[in-house]
Amino acid sequence: MDIRKLQRAIVDGLEDVKAQQIAVFNTEHLSAMFERVIIASGTSNRQTKALAASVRDAVKARGMQVLSTEGEDNGEWIIVDCGAAVAHIMQPAIRDYYHLEEIWGGKAVRMKVGEVTTRLVKASEPEAPPKAVKKPVARKASAKPSTAGKTANRAAAYKRVAGKSAPRAAAKKAPAKKAPAKAAPRR
């Protein structure tokens, strides 16, 4: 079984029900029991239960196995065990309290989540080989002046047109004179 296909199936299941703050961590170096930990948040008990059901359905639809599900009675923290990957679906308060990212977060897996401009490979599709990356071409020195030269050119142009010296933004202004106070009327 390909772990990338399994993690993609889990993330797709989470995205279908609008999970928040999806994080995928590589745990191969920490535990021999599983290779990935996926952590996501749901805003309510109902949403966390729906997220867990969506993950189970997505994994099973792609021909993979879900070993067990824990915590659905309460709905605050649901664990979906898919063998090589474990999904923790939590409410934000529980997630903030337990900080699983500190325990499993040694190596985050870079995955594109949500609306992305590039096309992702789904677990049900064959993986395409990576495209060759073009090296940036060295550019020749341009004839354009630098920003320091631009301000000098603007000042010279202002002098030619107006016949005056260029305005200075940093010049200090003289303090404005206060109007004389009006005398209070006598009673």
Mean pLDDT by 10 residues, the chain (187 residues): 88 93 88 89 94 95 93 92 94 92 73 46 50 51 50 53 50 58 66
Distances (CA, A) of 36 to 59, 115, 120: 14, 22, 19
pLDDT of residue 31: 80
In a domain, 55, yes or no: yes
Range of the domain at 95: 3-108
Cα 58 from Cα 19, distance rounded (Å): 14
pLDDT of residue 170: 45
pLDDT of residue 101: 85
pLDDT of residue 180: 63
pTM over 0.85: no
CATH of the domain at 89: 3.30.460.10
- Kindly tell me the burial class for residue 9, based on how many C-beta atoms sit within 10 Å of its own C-beta (0-12, 13-18, 19 or more): buried
| Amino acid type, 51 | L
In a domain, 31, yes or no: yes
In a domain, 57, yes or no: yes
In a domain, 66, yes or no: yes
Cα 68 from Cα 79, distance rounded (Å): 8
In a domain, 115, yes or no: no
Cα 55 from Cα 31, distance rounded (Å): 22
123: Cα separation from own chain's centroid: 22
In 3D, which of 79, 93, 73, 74 has the Cα closest to residue 51?
Answer: 79
Total domains present in the chain:
1
Bridge partners, residue 25, by sequence? 37, 108
In a domain, 117, yes or no: no
In a domain, 140, yes or no: no
In a domain, 28, yes or no: yes
